[in-house]
Amino acid sequence: MLDTALERIDVYRSWKACDPGPDHPIDVRYAAMPSLTKRDIREHFPQGLLPSGLDIDRGLADGHIELVSTSGTTDDSITNIWNQEWWDASERSSWKLNSHINNLVYGEHREAILANPRNTGFISDDADLPMDERRTSRFLYLNEKTDPTTWSEELMNRMVRELEAFRPEVLEANPSLLARLCRHIADNGISVFQPGAIVTTYEYMTKLECRQIRRAFGSPVISSYGTTETGYVFMECEAGRLHQNTDFCRVDFQPFKAEYGGPLLGRILVTPFDNKWCWYVRFDTGDLVRLEPSGRCPCGRNSGIILSSLQGRKANLTQTLAGRPVTLCEVDDVLSRLEGVTQYKLIQADHGEYELRLVSPLREKKHLVAEARRALKGIYGPDATVSIDFDTDFAPEESGKSLISRALIPIDVQSYLEQGQPL
Ligand SMILES: [Zn+2]
Residues 20-60 pLDDT 10s: 999 999 999 999 999 999 999 999 999 999 998 888 998 89
Distance CA 114, CA 159 (A): 9
pLDDT at 70: 77
With a CB cutoff of 8 Å and minimum separation 6, the contacts of 43 are none
pLDDT at 245: 98
Cβ–Cβ under 8 Å, residues 128 and 144: yes
pTM score > 0.85 for this model? yes
Task: Using the mean position of ligand 1's atoms as its centre, give its distance from the Cα of residue 383 in Å.
Answer: 41
Residues 55-92 pLDDT 10s: 899 889 988 899 988 765 556 778 999 999 999 999 99
Residues 150-177 pLDDT 10s: 999 999 999 999 999 999 999 999 999 9
Residues 262-282 pLDDT 10s: 999 999 999 999 999 999 999
Distance CA 242, CA 230 (A): 16
- pLDDT confidence tier of residue 114, bands split at 50, 70 and 90: very high
Number of H helices, E strands in the chain: 11, 20
pLDDT at 72: 57
Task: Using the mean position of ligand 1's atoms as its centre, give its distance from the Cα of residue 174 in Å.
Answer: 23
Cβ–Cβ under 8 Å, residues 156 and 178: no
pLDDT at 383: 98
Residues 383-405 pLDDT 10s: 999 999 999 999 999 889 999 99
What is the average pLDDT score of the chain?
95
pLDDT at 311: 98
Task: Using the mean position of ligand 1's atoms as its centre, give its distance from the Cα of residue 81 in Å.
Answer: 32
What residues have a C-beta under 5 A from ligand 1, the ion?
237, 239, 241, 297, 299, 301
- pLDDT confidence tier of residue 423, bands split at 50, 70 and 90: very low
Task: Using the mean position of ligand 1's atoms as its centre, give its distance from the Cα of residue 301 in Å.
Answer: 6
Strands (E), 164-220: 170-173, 197-200
Task: Using the mean position of ligand 1's atoms as its centre, give its distance from the Cα of residue 303 in Å.
Answer: 10
pLDDT at 75: 62
